[in-house]
Structure 1
């Protein structure tokens, strides 16, 4: 478990290597949003996906570091809405952590 001064997401990264990340094309730089176009894969006319998240073993192209040790989003300020809405300690978070052999977060926001 990270120290009390460090948010658990700063050592985790499991969510970034567990799920497909789809979002509106309006969030891409090309359409006036902030998600860098080089990290986006078009899905439909209105849907984009973070590069790397649709692989059999997903890993977002924006994820840096080692999962469970020290991980970070390389585009944190410009990340898409599904990433902004993902909650530490949620059921999806706990599933992602389990997928990577990490323990459950007892109190994810006790920072």
Structure 2
């Protein structure tokens, strides 16, 4: 069985802003992101709470970066999270994944 690096890492959840269209919210679809975990940006964009802080950390992230983490809304996470570093769980990072890991003192994948 291959190791899932993402369940240890979580650096991406503590490195970038997560903005997405409000059509992904639970108030607009049954499997959407809980509205309470977001802040409005514009008439059509929202941001995950915590991701615009000086030291960003998504409100949905549980655990310790680099040790053991999980997304509290994994099945309902927004599209930027679905699309980020699609092969990282297999140990294949990309430039953005490597930048996030470096911010937390972790080596690239």
TM-score (norm 2): 0.90
Q: 1:98 aligns with which of 80, 102, 109?
A: 102
Which consecutive unaligned segments of at least 5 residues does structure 2 have?
A: none
Aligned to 2:58: 60
**Aligned equivalents of 2:9 and 2:102: distance in 1?**
11
Structure 1 segments of 4 or more deviating over 2 A?
Answer: none
- Tell me how far 1:6 sits from its aligned partner: 2.3
- SS across alignment from 1:64: strand
SS of residue in 2 equivalent to 1:60: coil
The corresponding residue for 1:48 is: 46
- Alpha-carbon distance, 1:5 to partner: 3.3
Runs (5+) with no aligned partner, structure 1: 106-111
Aligned partner of 2:24 in structure 1 is: 27
Q: Superposition RMSD on alpha carbons, in Å?
A: 1.0
TM-score normalized by structure 1? 0.88
